[in-house]
Amino acid sequence: MNKAPIFLIGVARSGNTLLSTLLDNHPELFFSPVSRGFPFAHLSNLVMQNLSYRSDCRQSSLVERMLAELCDKKHTAVFARDADAASIEDMGAFLTEQMAAEARQHGKVHFGDKCTDLLDLLPKVSLMFPQSRFIHIIRDGRAVAMSTANRRHVPLKLAIQNWKRLILQGRIDGHFLGPGRYFEVTYERLVSEPETVTGEILQFLDLPFPREMLNLRSHKDTEHKDAYVQGEFVQDKIHAWKKKLSAKQIRELERIAGDVLQDLGYPLQEMPAEGPFEGLSPLRVLWLKQLDAFKNLTRRTQMVMLERRLIPVKQPFFGRIRKFLATTSNLWLGEHLVEQGRKRPKLL
């Protein structure tokens, strides 16, 4: 039996929470509302980028630091705190067993990990878990951009550019993974044909299809009055962007990502099929991200997904300052230089 985790990936605001709730309704699948794989992949990136600058560059130092970081975070406390770094020969196998143990704690067989940020780390995660499988949920980029702008106050153009980048990146990585490990599904088909799409996903996972899992009302996370996922598949959101965005806004979004939209089967509304299409320049993206960081300084609350519920969380003033400085530093210096706190040595 394949105990490797199943990763649900997709650009944020694409229906990830809906699909993870549906799959968690399967008697053999446990889909954690909080990612376990992303913290490790992200930390390993940071540590390995900076390890050569440190005085202790032994392999055990890398493993020890990652374990310490993972076990120190509240959302990754599932990992064994008493694990001996020196005794771990295969970190991927160790983490796989940790995830499988968590699934067993919930009476399930397979562990599912839902995280939108994994699209940026797909090659690393696929190497860590060589038997893992990936389900990529895709939604119309115009709907994603509108939803992202409304929820996170991100500029529309930046939201669609990010969608385009991540979709291209995820699909190319999926091509290298192959059909045995990578499967695509669209949000529109999921809410319009839930039984058919669910059957295709379970066939990809080699799992039986109990029809009662389609009853979302039976899932505990849909019972709360503030539950993010409702007890039914709602199709009203599929074309909501057509009514809420102006013709000019739609034209701007299609000019940036019209080629990718058409490649995915989404017809254009304002731009001609032949274009011209042009993504934002790197400098424009950098400026929009910096502008967004400035705007976030004034936002006292932020909507956060917690246990499949959308909850407003207060953002303390000094916390906003720290986040602004970190974001600005990341934009101009790069994450690994910020984490290291020193300049990159000149290359010969």
Q: Tokens representing 194? A: 């839930």
Say which residue, 299 or 253, is predicted with more confidence.
253
Q: Give the chain's domains with CATH numbers.
A: 6-234 (3.40.50.300), 286-335 (no CATH)
Predicted local confidence at residue 1, as pLDDT: 64
Strands in 110-114's sheet, in edge-to-edge order, are 29-32, 110-114, 6-9, 133-138, 182-186
Predicted local confidence at residue 70, as pLDDT: 60
Q: Taking the model in full, what pTM does it have?
A: 0.85
Predicted local confidence at residue 84, as pLDDT: 63
Give the total residue count for the chain: 348
Q: In Å, how far from its chain's centre is CA 151? A: 16
231 pLDDT band, cuts 50/70/90, is confident
Of 32-46, 281-295, 307-321, 334-348, give the lowest mean pLDDT range.
Answer: 334-348
Phi, psi of 237 (to 5 degrees): -80, -10
Q: What is the mean pLDDT of the chain?
A: 83
Q: Which residues contact 69 (CB under 8 A, 6 or more apart)?
A: 39, 43
